Structure 1
């Protein structure tokens, strides 16, 4: 029969089969390499090629089945034709071996490596046009594809794979962080920082960002009226807690815009101040920030009192505090606004012992551990495992600390620096 077919036709058929092999190889790589999230976005936008590819990827077993059936068919047919041609030139003894070697090299270069590499680099350029042929080909070969898939899926179920259909793609929080990091110039750096901060809200509680109780400025109703009025007029805060005797006995939250109502009266009483105060809103100290953000929205609140498990006041947190965790401090010079951090000429920092560790990290770009103590004093004591009788030095990660002052069982200040950034060695 080979004598009845001219060599020109055989070479033409062989060339066509190699092209078809390249088509199936590139379509397989392109379909599997395409960005699923961009594809879903384009499909929702009404782009038909994306919708077509998405339909094919909905059953990857059928897609791979039709591609491999086509690829194996054309490769086997190409091998047969190559053998006929090689026998014509090299005889029946050497022909098959020459055909196998030559065709392997040709298919490897022109039908496998080159088209698959291009498809991996430009998956959309391959997946969209090839889907025009793959979709009707799948319908044409469906009985054969179904039979192959039935056997294959049965073997997969024996291996523990139950769900054959292509499910909805999902990312974990850590994977989404990697996506944001790798977005590069597609997402501005400022927006990347905000997106990562939103992802971190789940790991941060109100206890981490609250204003501690010893720093809370409030109105004590046990003070004389003149002192209270002077405090109201000089307050730099929009909302202040009102308590009686002790901050654990909070009566309400006073919005200072309401203070004009009693300040305008000829006689001001403490009862009038209490009347203008809104009932306090209490928050458990372990509440995650993403939960508290929703709670503020639902409760129509902007400030909450943080309490521990015994109901004692630990501090207060505001809506602005949570927003700053997302967008950053509402200032361009965070370190300059941080009163507990004092820059030194040698590149080190003298930091107050009561400084919050998260504030230190944000202000200086450090990575001190935040899963334990909340203040620098607590962090130092945790690592020393005892209260220092005299100034001492220690190292926490890449940060070196020198205790400068100790007073009343409290480390009041320490000199800190990043030794790696200053070219030092541990």
Structure 2
């Protein structure tokens, strides 16, 4: 190199620093890519995305190629900088060249290109993939040889170098992705996706219609009473039982009952029982995602929830599960949240004691405990460990509450006052 002019050496040094910056930026850009967006673009035929995806199939070889190029360039740049330093400053120029080159490489070949690549990973990686693909073909034997040595050394350390493309997301990771989608996914759709993920954490017990609110017909009642209940029922399906709900004998579709009424055949209790479907029972601890699949497979839309002793706890419909995902339907068997929670002018809320705690939390953005009782009535009773008198004030989970009305040993109506600010 002694025969090469100083100007040419400076030009070579500048080119090597640029090339070093290219390798550094390419490495960061490739590693910072959103793999799911990359796969989406690749499936849609994006040429740059396809090139990058092929390179990332073996990330160890890609990193090996980049590091080979980067180290060769930096070593050559160091040699040229040493020669320039000695030409300009003699023996002391070696130290000067080392310091200046280190600073230059850090600023222009490491920090700056890596920062830009982290900010614009797609632009950098798609463009650099053209050159990297060519270099991978040219230097493939050297890259494979170095990776063979590296992987062998890793195996000697007792570590298995497994190349896996397992980019599957857990439900919690997918929840984070949905929450971070921002304006890319409408807020309403985000809520629906999160609700689907929440189904596995909620059981049928949490959203069922309680036993005491189940609408049914006692088949042992007189016939006129049964007909009157059939003609005035607001529901599409109704439970038939003998004497008490635990003795359920069938699930009658009102449409089928109306058909029998219009036919010339005798319409009586026997024909009514024959027209009823068999009762579908559901264990109380069944998660909603499992029950949704069971409804689909068994071609059912409604079921009675039973505890470990076989006693009926409540009722659940397919619509109840769908409401957990998309929100309330006007045909719901249970009262809507707007009917159970009435805002007051002073900022407080009048809430029915039978209101579901999960629904209250979702509707009012509260954090009442959900690991115990399912209703606000049950939560207050558990807190007090006694059946209180009306107009008793209590604080539950930080919320000041006033018991307004008690009926049949149940808290019927509660007034929940707004939370007091910490400053006050």
Judge conservation of contact 2:390–2:404 (CA < 8 Å) in 1: no
Judge conservation of contact 1:340–1:351 (CA < 8 Å) in 2: yes
How many angstroms does 1:80 deviate by?
A: 0.8
Change (3 A) 1:349 1:418: same
User: Which residue is equivalent to 2:204?
Assistant: 206
Change (3 A) 1:216 1:365: same
Q: Matched residues in 2 for 1:319 and 1:425: separation?
A: 46
Number of corresponding residues: 420
Q: Matched residues in 2 for 1:342 and 1:415: separation?
A: 9
Residue 195 (structure 1) aligned to one of 193, 196, 208: 193
Q: How does 1:120-269 map to 2 (within 5 A)?
A: 120-157=118-155, 161-265=159-263, 267-269=266-268
SS in 2 for 1:403: strand
SS in 2 for 1:283: strand
How many angstroms does 1:252 deviate by?
A: 1.3
How many angstroms does 1:262 deviate by?
A: 2.1
Structure 1 unaligned regions, length at least 5: none
Matched, 1:374 2:356: no
Change (3 A) 1:243 1:408: closer
Deviations 1:309-349 (A, max 9, x none): 11111111111111110011136xx9975433333222112
How many angstroms does 1:237 deviate by?
A: 0.6
Moved more, 273-282 or 115-124: 273-282
How many angstroms does 1:19 deviate by?
A: 1.1
Change (3 A) 1:336 1:218: closer
Deviations 1:118-160 (A, max 9, x none): 1111111111121222223223333332343234334444556
Q: Matched residues in 2 for 1:155 and 1:372: separation?
A: 55
Q: Matched residues in 2 for 1:408 and 1:245: separation?
A: 21
Change (3 A) 1:313 1:425: farther
User: Which residue is equivalent to 1:341?
Assistant: 341
User: Which residue is equivalent to 1:30?
Assistant: 29
Deviations 1:247-273 (A, max 9, x none): 111111111111222222465311121
Judge conservation of contact 1:61–1:164 (CA < 8 Å) in 2: no
Judge conservation of contact 1:25–1:116 (CA < 8 Å) in 2: yes
Change (3 A) 1:30 1:249: same
How many angstroms does 1:381 deviate by?
A: 2.7
Change (3 A) 1:140 1:391: same
- TM-score of the superposed pair, with normalisation by structure 2: 0.92
Moved more, 351-360 or 31-40: 351-360
Judge conservation of contact 1:395–1:401 (CA < 8 Å) in 2: yes
Matched, 1:304 2:306: no
Q: Matched residues in 2 for 1:100 and 1:368: separation?
A: 64
Judge conservation of contact 1:180–1:196 (CA < 8 Å) in 2: yes
SS in 1 for 2:412: strand
How many angstroms does 1:86 deviate by?
A: 1.8
Deviations 1:334-379 (A, max 9, x none): 9975433333222112223222212322333322122211111221
RMSD: 2.3
Change (3 A) 1:318 1:395: same
Moved more, 340-349 or 372-381: 340-349
The 4+ residue runs of structure 1 with deviation greater than 6 A are: none
Judge conservation of contact 1:349–1:415 (CA < 8 Å) in 2: yes
User: Which residue is equivalent to 1:109?
Assistant: 107
Q: Matched residues in 2 for 1:287 and 1:185: separation?
A: 35
Deviations 1:227-285 (A, max 9, x none): 11111111111111111111111111111111222222465311121122111111111
Moved more, 376-385 or 155-164: 155-164
User: Which residue is equivalent to 1:46?
Assistant: 45
SS in 2 for 1:419: coil
User: Which residue is equivalent to 2:18?
Assistant: 19
